[in-house]
């Protein structure tokens, strides 16, 4: 049911050193996103989600994670993307925010990457306004660009 | 060290709480030795620990306060309120210092010398009470208190030194307590040889102290002999054994059976919460295992799983228990508050606390603490009168406030009762008008109880002047809001001049509630059982269907029109019930509902049965019910007093659910109060009935609870529930619904003709069918609507053309009937309607209708000619009751106004009995009764029967108080007649 990805807390020295940061990469609509690894609690496969009537569109429901209730968030909707077509196995990343758990439903979960600070850049001015709010900046990688997802912001925008 | 201080702080706070209570007790029972030594010990512990931790300010205050308590304990200082106040002052100082200490970790700077001086004054006998001359006989004059002190002071000092050495005051205290175990002849000189063990020394010293104490006790007990008292005490030396023993018995239990100290451990609440979550998860896993086990016929796992099952259940219960605390914890401050109040206000108030051991969830406890304190203050401040007022009112000078807590169902009921002056309705009315909460007209139509409810509105305080205590007009509304916030309710009963009672009903725990699981639009939801009054199943075969007015659904639940709201519509979810593929199709038809549901004659085919407690709330086997399709359930829900129905697709079972707060991003949805995880592991939302009520357009708060009053008013004098039907000529007819036993459709083919009238077999008996005058004769086939009237064992059916509606209306008979079975015509629902005098019609068809009941006493000759005065402002009831009474053989005089009745009294008319309505204009029944019962009244011994549709216990109580002998419900003809004959025969015998 739930498969915990190997997300180990890396050497704290590395963090303090500041030369690089670790991100769990996820893919949404073929775009690569990164979530700071320390924010990630769990990675889940398909879950039985209870719909919450009258909830904001971005909330797809609630689920039970080992006795705790987790609010499932459809990140595609948060980013103003259309629903995913066809049937896919749903994946989600569980994060904790303000003492509560949220499960971010995304398309795919990738690896944990160690990214160098020198590759970081703040949000390009032309970035989609939807995205700009929830992006903490980007990392240039070989052949692709990774958007750093600002999880607290993402959740905040739903609340509004 | 920090840890030590933290530990000290929690411990001291607890001790101080206990001290507050003990001291108030002490003031009331100054001679309670147990209490004294207990207080002394607590203070001493505080002092000792402060010294140990290096908190000089605290230590000093505690030390000086302890000194006085030492004198209390030694019995050479009388416990009087002034001294207790002083001790309280010291306690407050200690609390202040501790509060600061808690915040900053430092003992604050400050000067306590003034307080200490006051304390020392008392200790050294320099204060007013002790030096004020022998005026007060009970206070020992300084001459003898001084030597006594000299004696005790060194002993005390020595004892203290000892403690200083050992740092273990408890041990010493234990010794102290055990002194009486030693034979008195071991009393020796205070100078102890050094070779004696410390224990022995302490014991001996303690012994000596006890003896001294006993001697001094005697001395103080006879203060008149004061000048020679000390020597007298010495002379009594040989007899000391006795007092010593007596003192010993009071003082402390023998060393052997010292009450075992409860072992306790401080645990962080978070740890408990966590534990709770994990246990819930464990329960869930167990349930899944058991589910799997069930699919397997024989498994070697079954035995261990059963064991696991039990262990987990016990574990769950145990963890739940850790959250429970006795309600007494929330009360510990109250005695002090009452005491201070009574001194401040100059009142005499006695606080009784019953059921302090009743346990409830900590969380709930925290939330009711403040409302409770406020209400107790209120009772003391507003409720209890000044002693002279009380005396003038013929009450004992000391007022009583009673706090009572007990369990009832899954709830805890807390009553706050005072025997004070009650609520002043006129004053409330004034305030209500001043605040524009209601118009004069509205007020006139309200019952006293309704008016009293206004005190729960913001900005309404009945205290004439604002005191420091209360009267600022914030309060009761906050109290109610707070209580409702935790799913509780508050009720108020008050009789002017007699006192008020507030009853708070709150759930035992917020964490776990019993909830009804329902389904709508393929999703399951939980509705807190507390709000669910009743369940109604409606399907094609049901007699009463859901009706709608411009698309808004309604349902006729008995005589009430119940507003309905569909959960699917409300939550904007699509109904997908029929083709919804579900993993498990749980559905049960028998639903456990709250006790209120056990109502007879529910107009549905489905009889709701009260289910026994499910053997295991999480483990239900669901059975698919075939009749399920095409049926709806109405969950009749009550919020405050607002009754409405929620239409759901299915109703499952009740489950004990663990309420978890909803996520922040969902908390704005008013329909939900939380969410929970069900036994099968799925998350479901918990509906908030208050939120739904709000969404249905019914505002929260004041209005909701008033609507109940409205409803009860409707069934009262003004409004009557009427059944409208058509029969005979075209005009609509009306008959009070309460007279109609049932509505039936009778197949005309089954109507037979015998003994000159139409009959039908009905419920195993023959029931005559009658028609209204002018109706066409009964047909021979088809369905015939029939109103069934029942009198004793007899039933009679009135065939009507059509049953139109049930309505509530004011019957104002405008055109009197011409004796053709009509009381008269009235405007009902904007149409001229004939109000039918059912009694006459039935009687004209069956001469024996009201008679021939051999088993009933009425109609006996003895009753003939008894004169009865009937007072009722409603012409309808006058017209209905007076023939009835006449038929029963009474001589009836009918009046429409109580004032007229009093005029008749002045004229010297006399009656055997008076029947009076309660709610009447100008003078209501209560007032009338008071007039009748007044001293100079010639009617003061007449039996008085109250006639009302408000037969609530409060009303009855009030009725009894003002002098009604009996209370009869308006429509209960039998009861009325029985009561009359009974009252009359009692009256005759008396």
Please report, for the domain that includes residue B287, its CATH number: 1.10.287
Q: Is B369 exposed, middle or buried (0-12, 13-18, 19+ CB in 10 A)?
A: middle
- CA pair distance B892, B945, nearest whole angstrom: 14
From the list B284, B664, B683, the residue facing A100 with the nearest CB is: B664
B277 touches A: beta carbon within 8 Å: yes
- Choose from B565, B646, B665 for mutation: most chain A CBs within 10 A: B665
- Structural domain count, chain B: 7
B600 with B482, same domain?
no
Q: pLDDT tens digit string along A80-91?
A: 888 887 777 888
Q: What's the count of helices (H) and strands (E) in chain A, helices before strands? A: 4, 11
Interface contact flag, B280 A53, Cβ < 8 Å: no
Q: Tell me the CATH number at B925.
A: 3.40.50.2300
B304 with B241, same domain?
no
- CA pair distance B920, B918, nearest whole angstrom: 6
Q: What is the pLDDT of residue B85?
A: 82
B146 with B107, same domain?
no
- Closest alpha carbon within chain B to A48: B682
Interface contact flag, B281 A67, Cβ < 8 Å: yes
Q: What is the pLDDT of residue B468?
A: 40
Q: What is the pLDDT of residue A35?
A: 93
Q: Is B433 exposed, middle or buried (0-12, 13-18, 19+ CB in 10 A)?
A: middle
B423 with B460, same domain?
yes
Judge whether B489 and B483 are in contact, CB under 8 Å.
yes
Indicate whether B516 belongs to any domain: no
- Give contacts of A55 with chain B, Cβ < 8 Å: 665-666, 669
Query: Among B139, B170, B204, where does a domain finish?
Result: B139
B314 with B336, same domain?
no
B836 with B867, same domain?
no
B794 with B830, same domain?
yes
- B913-917 and B867-871 strand pairing: parallel
- Choose from A53, A56, A66, A160 for mutation: most chain B CBs within 10 A: A53
B405 with B463, same domain?
yes
- CA pair distance B857, B980, nearest whole angstrom: 10
Phi/psi at B713 (5° precision):
-70, -35
Q: pLDDT tens digit string along A45-58?
A: 888 888 888 888 88
Asked if pLDDT for residue A149 goes beyond 60, the answer is yes
ipTM of the complex, rounded to two decimals:
0.82
B485: tokens are 């916030």
Q: What is the pLDDT of residue A43?
A: 92
Give CA separation, B883 vs B864, B880, B980, in Å. 14, 6, 15
Interface contact flag, A63 B663, Cβ < 8 Å: no
Q: What is the pLDDT of residue B585?
A: 38
- Give contacts of A104 with chain B, Cβ < 8 Å: none
- CA pair distance A1, A71, nearest whole angstrom: 17
- Closest alpha carbon within chain A to B679: A67
Query: Among B814, B845, B876, where does a domain finish?
Result: B845
Indicate whether B560 belongs to any domain: yes
Give the domain A12-159 fold. OB fold (Dihydrolipoamide Acetyltransferase, E2P) (2.40.50)
B866 with B880, same domain?
yes
User: Does residue B624 sit in helix, strand or coil?
Assistant: coil
Could you list the residue range(s) of the whole structural domain that residue B625 is in?
535-705
Closest C-alpha to B327, from B367, B273, B275: B367
Size of interface A-B (CB pairs under 8 A): 67
B383 with B493, same domain?
yes
Distance from CA of A159 to the nearest CA of B (A): 5
Q: What is the pLDDT of residue B685?
A: 92
From the list A53, A59, A64, the residue facing B681 with the nearest CB is: A64
- CA pair distance B78, B287, nearest whole angstrom: 65
Interface contact flag, A64 B682, Cβ < 8 Å: yes
Please compute Rg for chain A using Cα positions. 15
B888 with B935, same domain?
yes
State the 10-residue block means of pLDDT for chain B, 990 residues long.
69 77 78 76 75 76 80 77 81 82 77 81 74 45 41 43 44 49 43 47 56 53 43 43 42 43 72 82 80 80 88 86 83 85 85 87 81 84 85 88 84 87 81 79 79 72 46 62 78 84 81 83 88 85 77 80 87 58 38 38 37 37 44 84 86 81 83 83 87 68 36 41 76 76 78 78 78 72 78 74 74 59 70 75 62 42 70 73 73 82 81 82 80 79 77 72 77 73 64
Indicate whether B526 belongs to any domain: no
B685 with B544, same domain?
yes
Interface contact flag, B660 A69, Cβ < 8 Å: yes
Q: Tell me the CATH number at B793.
A: 2.40.50.180
- Give contacts of A63 with chain B, Cβ < 8 Å: 683
Within 10 Å of residue B380's Cβ, how many Cβ atoms?
27
* Vertex B386: Cα angle to B383 and B389 (nearest 5): 100
Give the predicted TM-score (pTM) of the model.
Answer: 0.45
Judge whether B664 and B685 are in contact, CB under 8 Å.
no
Query: Among B83, B107, B139, where does a domain finish?
Result: B139
Indicate whether B907 belongs to any domain: yes
Q: What is the pLDDT of residue A26?
A: 93
């Amino acid at each position: 049911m739930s498969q915990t990805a190997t997300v180990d807390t890396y050497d704290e020295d590395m963090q303090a050193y500041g030369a690089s940061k670790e991100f769990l990469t996820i893919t949404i609509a073929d775009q690569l996103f990164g979530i700071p690894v320390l924010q990630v609690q769990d990675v889940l496969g398909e879950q039985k989600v209870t719909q919450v009537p009258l909830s904001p569109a971005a909330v797809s429901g609630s689920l039970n994670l080992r006795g705790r209730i987790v609010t499932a968030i459809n990140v595609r909707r948060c980013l103003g993307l259309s629903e995913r077509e066809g049937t896919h196995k749903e994946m989600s990343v569980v994060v904790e925010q303000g003492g509560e758990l949220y499960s971010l439903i995304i398309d795919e979960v990738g690896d944990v990457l160690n990214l160098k600070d020198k590759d970081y850049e703040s949000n390009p001015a032309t970035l989609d306004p939807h995205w700009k709010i929830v992006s903490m900046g980007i990392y240039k990688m070989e052949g692709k660009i990774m958007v750093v997802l600002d999880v607290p912001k993402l959740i905040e925008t739903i609340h509004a | 060290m920090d840890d030590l201080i933290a530990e000290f702080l929690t411990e001291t706070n607890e001790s101080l709480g206990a001290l507050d209570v003990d001291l108030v007790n002490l003031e009331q029972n100054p001679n309670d030795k147990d209490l004294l030594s207990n207080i002394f010990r607590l203070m001493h512990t505080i002092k000792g620990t402060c010294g140990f931790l290096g908190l000089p300010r605290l230590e000093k205050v505690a030390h000086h306060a302890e000194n006085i308590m030492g004198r209390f304990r030694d019995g050479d200082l009388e416990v009087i309120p002034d001294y207790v106040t002083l001790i309280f002052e010291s306690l407050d100082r200690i609390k202040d210092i501790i509060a600061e200490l808690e915040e900053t970790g430092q003992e604050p700077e400050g000067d306590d010398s003034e307080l200490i001086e006051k304390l020392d004054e008392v200790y050294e006998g320099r204060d007013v009470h002790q030096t004020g001359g022998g005026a007060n006989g009970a206070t020992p004059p300084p001459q003898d208190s001084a030597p006594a002190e000299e004696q005790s002071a060194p002993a005390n000092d020595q004892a203290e030194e000892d403690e200083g050495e050992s740092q273990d005051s408890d041990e010493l205290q234990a010794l102290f307590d055990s002194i009486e175990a030693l034979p008195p002849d071991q009393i020796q000189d205070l100078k102890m040889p050094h070779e004696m063990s410390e224990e022995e020394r302490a014991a001996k010293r303690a012994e000596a102290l006890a003896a001294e104490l006993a001697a001094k006790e005697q001395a103080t007990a006879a203060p008149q002999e004061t000048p020679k008292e000390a020597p007298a005490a010495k002379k009594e030396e040989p007899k000391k054994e006795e007092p010593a023993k007596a003192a010993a018995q009071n003082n402390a239990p023998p060393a052997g059976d010292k009450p075992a100290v409860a072992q306790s451990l401080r645990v962080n609440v978070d740890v408990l919460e966590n534990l709770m979550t994990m246990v819930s998860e464990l329960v869930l896993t167990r349930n899944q295992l058991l589910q799997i086990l069930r699919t397997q016929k024989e498994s070697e796992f079954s035995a261990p799983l059963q064991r696991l099952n039990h262990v987990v259940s016990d574990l769950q219960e145990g963890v739940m228990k850790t959250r429970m605390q006795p309600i007494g914890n929330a009360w510990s401050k109250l005695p002090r508050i009452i005491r201070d109040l009574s001194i401040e206000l100059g009142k005499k108030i006695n606080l009784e606390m019953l059921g302090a051991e009743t346990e409830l969830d900590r969380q709930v406890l925290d939330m009711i603490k403040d409302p409770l304190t406020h209400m107790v203050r209120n009772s003391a401040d507003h409720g209890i009168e000044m002693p002279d007022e009380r005396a003038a009112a013929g009450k004992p000078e000391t007022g009583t406030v009673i706090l009572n807590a007990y369990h009832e169902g899954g709830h805890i009921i807390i009553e706050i009762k005072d025997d004070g002056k009650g609520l002043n309705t006129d004053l409330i009315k004034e305030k209500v008008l001043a605040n524009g909460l209601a118009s004069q007209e509205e007020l006139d139509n309200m019952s006293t109880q309704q008016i009293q409810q206004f005190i729960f509105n913001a900005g309404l305080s009945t205290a004439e002047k604002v005191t420091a205590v209360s009267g600022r007009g914030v309060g009761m509304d906050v109290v109610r809001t707070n209580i409702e916030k935790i799913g509780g309710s508050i009720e108020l009963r008050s009789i002017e001049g007699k006192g008020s009672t507030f009853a708070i009903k709150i759930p035992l725990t917020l964490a776990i509630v019993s909830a009804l699981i329902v389904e709508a639009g393929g999703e399951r939801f939980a509705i807190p059982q507390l709000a669910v009054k009743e369940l109604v199943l409606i399907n094609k075969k049901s007699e009463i269907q859901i009706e709608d007015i411009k698309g808004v659904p309604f349902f006729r639940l008995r005589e009430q029109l119940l507003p309905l709201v569909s959960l699917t519509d409300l939550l904007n979810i699509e109904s997908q019930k029929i083709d919804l593929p579900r993993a498990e199709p749980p559905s049960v038809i028998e639903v456990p509902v709250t006790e209120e549901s056990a109502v007879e004659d529910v107009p549905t085919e489905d009889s709701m049965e009260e289910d026994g407690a499910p053997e295991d709330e999480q483990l239900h086997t669901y059975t698919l019910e075939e009749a399920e399709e095409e049926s709806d359930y109405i969950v009749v829900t009550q919020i405050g007093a607002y009754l409405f129905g929620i239409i759901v697709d299915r109703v499952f079972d009740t489950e004990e659910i663990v309420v978890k707060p909803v996520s922040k991003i969902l908390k704005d949805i008013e329909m939900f109060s939380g969410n929970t995880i069900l036994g099968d592991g799925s998350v479901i939302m918990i509906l908030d009935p208050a939120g739904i009520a709000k969404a249905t357009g019914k505002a929260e708060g004041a209005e909701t609870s008033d609507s109940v009053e409205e409803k009860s008013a409707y069934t009262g004098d003004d409004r009557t529930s009427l059944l409208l039907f058509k029969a005979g000529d075209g005009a609509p007819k009306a008959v009070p619904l309460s007279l109609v036993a049932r509505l039936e459709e009778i197949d005309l083919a089954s109507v037979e003709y015998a003994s000159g009238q139409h009959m039908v077999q009905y419920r195993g008996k023959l029931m005559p069918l009658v028609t209204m005058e002018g109706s066409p004769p009964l047909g021979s086939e088809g369905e015939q609507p029939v109103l069934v009237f029942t009198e004793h064992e007899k039933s009679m059916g009135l065939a009507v053309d059509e049953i139109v509606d049930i309505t509530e209306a004011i019957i104002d008979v405008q055109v009197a009937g011409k004796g053709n079975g009509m009381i008269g015509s009235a405007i009902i629902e904007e149409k001229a309607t004939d109000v039918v005098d059912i009694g006459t019609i039935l009687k004209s068809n069956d001469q024996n209708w009201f008679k021939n009941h051999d088993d009933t006493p009425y109609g006996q000759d003895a009753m003939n000619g008894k004169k009865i005065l009937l007072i009722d402002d409603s012409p309808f009831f006058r017209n209905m009751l007076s023939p009835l009474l006449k038929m029963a053989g009474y001589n009836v005089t009918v009046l429409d106004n109580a004032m007229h009745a009093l005029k008749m009294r002045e004229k010297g008319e006399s009656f055997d009995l008076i029947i009076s309505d309660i709610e009447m204009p100008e003078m209501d029944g209560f007032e009338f009764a008071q007039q009748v019962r007044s001293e100079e009244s010639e009617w003061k011994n007449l039996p008085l029967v109250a006639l009302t549709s408000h037969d609530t216990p409060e009303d009855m109580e009030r009725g009894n108080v003002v002098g009604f002998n009996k209370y009869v419900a308006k429509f209960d003809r039998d009861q009325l007649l029985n009561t009359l004959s009974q009252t009359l025969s009692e009256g005759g015998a008396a």
